[in-house]
Structure 1
Amino acid sequence: MTYRVCFVCTGNICRSPMAEAVFHARVADAGLDDVVVADSAGTGGWHEGEGADPRTLDVLAGHGYELRHTARQFQQAWFSRLDLVIALDAGHLRALRRLAPTEEDAAKVRLLRSYDPAADAGDLDVPDPYYGGVDGFEECLEMVEAASGGLLAAVREQVEGRAA
């Protein structure tokens, strides 16, 4: 059975596509790409149909990641098919939990940096790099990469638990 993860930020052009690309690479490296599927969306529809921000694409390419992406808005109906919804900041976390139709669905929503053991528990947000320069996108990538190993370990545990 497929395990489905969706990364969510504001407009689905910077942080969440970056997290999706990094996680795809981690999943492939772990040999789990036949059982784990990841995608991304935004809490708003401002950029629906657009590609990722060019700075996101440049930073990802500069670090060896590939991304094919079209922005879309997260839909409440998706909760029923998702196993995990990964919010990139506390605002997204609150919005997604409010949108969740059930308590079980709300429990599927987690902050990405909660999977980074070195992250400051008092500040688990991945800052929005949109209004800044490329340095903000590099910082975003560092945070995403730091959390991706822990996220992969948690997903692997869930996938193996299903198979048992």
Structure 2
Amino acid sequence: MTYRVCLVCMGNICRSPMAEVVLRATLTGNGLAGVVVESAGTGDWHVGGPMDQRAAETLAARGYDGSEHRARQFTREWFDRFDLVLAMDSVNLRALRKLAPAGREVRLFRSFDPAAPADAEVPDPYYGGQDGFDEVLRQVKAASEGLAKHLAAELR
């Protein structure tokens, strides 16, 4: 049985694709390469488009490759495909909870970062400078490490 995780932000061009690339690498590095990681946005503005250039460059500068990413929109049917759906912030968390079937849990991605409060968000860097993308990368790396530990304990 394959375990599947979906990371969700607003447009699927900055935060969630950065988190997807980093989480996939982190899981592979922790012996969990069989976990499927995907990302999507709650909005449809960028569907089919590549990752934001600043996000891709931030990843590339740290040895990650986000060049294959194409933005997608999360729909209610996706809950049937994923075991774990994680939002980047409270706005997307609320949107996902409205779509979710009754009883389906949706969490914030940073809730897996042991150094962050349970309600910590990954802020949207889209309208800011490079420092915002660097901060997003730092935050998704920490949350990815925490999620890898959680999944290692849960799936083994």
TM-score per shorter chain, which class? over 0.9
TM superposition shift of 1:31: 2.2
Q: Is the 8 A contact 2:27 2:35 kept in 1?
A: yes
Query: What is the rounded CA distance, in whole Å, between the counterparts of 1:57 and 1:81 in structure 2?
Result: 26
Matching residue within 106, 111, 116 for 1:114: 111
- Indicate whether 1:53 and 2:36 are aligned: no
Q: TM-score normalised to the size of structure 1?
A: 0.91
**What is the one-letter code of the residue matched to 1:126?**
V
Deviations 1:92-149 (A, max 9, x none): 111101100221x2x1x1111111111134x511110000111100011011111111
Query: What is the rounded CA distance, in whole Å, between the counterparts of 1:97 and 1:154 in structure 2?
Result: 22
Q: TM-score normalised to the size of structure 2?
A: 0.95
The farther-off stretch of 36-45 and 59-68 is: 59-68
Detail structure 1 runs of 4+ shifted over 4 Å in the superposition: none
**What is the one-letter code of the residue matched to 2:148?**
L
TM superposition shift of 1:50: 0.2
Query: What is the rounded CA distance, in whole Å, between the counterparts of 2:117 and 2:101 in structure 1?
Result: 30
Q: How does 1:14-163 map to 2 (within 5 A)?
A: 14-33=14-33, 35-67=34-66, 68-103=68-103, 105=104, 107=105, 109-121=106-118, 123-160=119-156
Query: What is the rounded CA distance, in whole Å, between the counterparts of 2:90 and 2:13 in structure 1?
Result: 18
Identify unmatched segments of 5+ residues in structure 1.
none
Q: Is the 8 A contact 2:111 2:117 kept in 1?
A: no
**What is the one-letter code of the residue matched to 2:128?**
G
**What is the one-letter code of the residue matched to 1:52?**
M
Query: What is the rounded CA distance, in whole Å, between the counterparts of 1:30 and 1:149 in structure 2?
Result: 9
Identify unmatched segments of 5+ residues in structure 2.
none
